[in-house]
Amino acid sequence: MSRRSSFVILVTLALSACVKPQMHTEAQLNDVARACGLALGELMQDESEKKLLLAIRQEPTLEQRACVARWARRNGLKPVFVNMQFPAG
């Protein structure tokens, strides 16, 4: 491999690491939520912190957490699980 080829590959990898994460639509996030056994609206992405995938669930199962984490990693996002305590009744 020539030096020029090596340089082009190195620059391409460096630039791809700087790509901003994509904002997913509410419909996309709802599809993922349903596929992972969550309710509609329990997955969200904040426009100011696009790299974070927020999962709002009172007590997610290990399977739900794993499903969300897998999808987040495949899409360049960091999963954050927020444990909400909702009032009974």
Residue 30 lies in a domain: yes
Residue 11, domain member (yes or no)? no
Q: Return the CA Rg of the chain.
A: 17
Residue 16 has pLDDT above 60, yes or no: no
* Assigned domain for 62 exists: yes
Q: How many Å apart are CA 43 and CA 82, to the nearest integer?
A: 10
Q: Is residue 53 part of a domain?
A: yes
Which pLDDT score is estimated for 7? 63
Q: Is residue 57 part of a domain?
A: yes
Phi, psi at residue 35, to the nearest 5°? -65, -30
> What residues make up the domain containing 47?
21-83
Beta 43-46 vs 78-83: how paired, if at all? unpaired
Residue ranges of E strands in the chain: 43-46, 49-57, 78-83
Give pTM, 2 decimals. 0.72
pLDDT digits (tens, 9 = 90+) for 39-85: 999 999 988 889 999 999 888 999 999 999 999 999 999 999 987 77
What letter does residue 1 receive in the DSSP assignment? -
Residue type, 12: T
- Residue 13 pLDDT: 56
